[in-house]
Amino acid sequence: MHITKLFLKSVLSSALLVASFGILAADHQDHQDHQDHQDHQDHQDHQDHQDHQDHQDHQDHQDHQDHQDHHPSKTAVHHSAPIAVPDLRSHTQQARSLSDQESVGHEKPVGATAEHDHRKEHGAQIYSQVILDQKWQINSAGNGAFKSENEARIGTDENKVFLKLQADKSESSQADYAAEILYSRNISDFWDVQTGLRYRQENISQHTASLQNERFDAVLGLHGLAPYFFETNAYLYVGEDDFVGFKLETERDLLLTQKLIMQPFIELDIIFNDQAASAKKSGLSHATLGLETRYEISKKVMPYLQVGYEYSKGNKQAVWQQASGSDRVWIYALGLKMMF
């Protein structure tokens, strides 16, 4: 009986031991299966991620290629930067920029027309002006003279052509004439440089006859507005018979009323060299310092009065003329200026 119980206990113990090993084996198999499943899942996730990354890289490359088609000049910039997760906002901004550029490109003809019209309204238009200035002048010695100064100009603010005509007819003598044609080019806000040609016809008085001498001079000078609103003309003349001279004219308006205007003025003629038969003496050949008072009936009609002091150095001794002394006289003039 005792042996039987011992045998049963042995069998039961063996069964429990076998069952325990079976459970442990089953747990180990489950754990192995779970590990294999996890490895398989990780591998699948990694494969999916790799496929997604490849797809993303392909998409970025495609976007980059499309962007290159729009901006070939920026290829080096895109290749130098690493390609990462695409920035949708940046791509949207680029698309908008491309759209704006295309819109501007389509509107270019309209812009060009507007720019052309704008330039025409601000200095590119052609205009013209004519100034006629006639006066009768008498000096303190009782000698009278008629003087005419006329000017015409045509062009734009940058490029103009000037034509100047002058006549000086003293009593009991023939008239002296001068004509200038000048090209004027704007070089700053207030100044033009001018160059051209001057023609002169001068009278030479002898004992029994009066002769006329014709001369040509090259002209180079400045025309514009000096500081303190002095309108200024300064010209250098180089011509026949080794003639070299300089002329300066400056004036300034002083408004007493809107129509009554006073204008002080200065005129200087300097001769550096002259070997002509009708030559003037070298140095300060002629100077006038005066004051003009004009009344502007309109901007086209302006009568005026002048009073001034005039100095003349006289003629140089030459083959056709005798030397003369200097003169200093007061001058009085009544004139009319018209502008069109």
pLDDT digits (tens, 9 = 90+) for 36-72: 444 544 445 445 545 545 445 545 544 444 444 444 4
More confident: 311 or 93: 311
- Shared domain for 164 and 274, answered yes or no, is yes
With cut-offs at 50, 70 and 90, classify the pLDDT of residue 204. Answer: confident
pLDDT for res 122:
58
With cut-offs at 50, 70 and 90, classify the pLDDT of residue 209. Answer: low
Across the strands, what pairs with 180?
164, 198
CATH of residue 149's domain is: 2.40.160.40
Mean pLDDT of 255-260: 97
- Shared domain for 171 and 316, answered yes or no, is yes
Whether 75 is covered by a domain: the verdict is no
Answer yes or no: is pLDDT of 14 > 90.
no
- Shared domain for 96 and 146, answered yes or no, is no
Whether 270 is covered by a domain: the verdict is yes
Contact (CB, 8 A) for 78 and 90: no
pLDDT for res 21:
46
Domain count, the chain: 2
- Shared domain for 174 and 26, answered yes or no, is no
Contact (CB, 8 A) for 302 and 262: no
- Cβ neighbors of 143 (< 8 A, separation 6 or more) are 170, 171
* DSSP 8-class letter at 140: T
CB crowding 80-91: b at 16 or more within 10 Å, else e: eeeeeeeeeeee
Answer yes or no: is pLDDT of 83 > 80.
no
- Shared domain for 97 and 148, answered yes or no, is no
Give the whole-angstrom CA distance, residue 231 versus residue 221.
14
- Shared domain for 99 and 146, answered yes or no, is no
CA atoms 100, 105, 110, 116: torsion sign: positive
- Cβ neighbors of 128 (< 8 A, separation 6 or more) are 152, 153, 154
- Shared domain for 95 and 155, answered yes or no, is no
With cut-offs at 50, 70 and 90, classify the pLDDT of residue 211. Answer: confident
Whether 77 is covered by a domain: the verdict is no
Q: How far is CA 47 from CA 50, 52, 58, 238, in A?
A: 5, 8, 16, 95
From the number of C-beta atoms within 10 Å of its C-beta (0-12, 13-18, 19+), residue 327 rates as middle
- If we measure between CA atoms, which residue out of 238, 234, 206, 233 comes closest to residue 219? 238
HSE, CB side, 13 Å, CA atoms: give it for residue 247: 12
- Shared domain for 15 and 134, answered yes or no, is no
For 93, the token pair is: 């901004």
pLDDT tens digits along 176-193: 999 999 999 999 999 999
- Shared domain for 98 and 131, answered yes or no, is no
- Shared domain for 95 and 172, answered yes or no, is no
Whether 44 is covered by a domain: the verdict is yes
- Shared domain for 170 and 282, answered yes or no, is yes
pLDDT tens digits along 151-165: 999 999 999 999 999
- Shared domain for 66 and 187, answered yes or no, is no
Whether 83 is covered by a domain: the verdict is no
**DSSP count for the chain of H helices, then E strands:** 4, 13
Output the average pLDDT for the chain: 76
pTM for the complete prediction?
0.64
Whether 315 is covered by a domain: the verdict is yes
For 114, the token pair is: 């507007």
Whether 78 is covered by a domain: the verdict is no
Angle at CA of residue 86, ends 42 and 83, nearest 5°: 80
Which domain does 210 fall in, by range?
Answer: 127-339
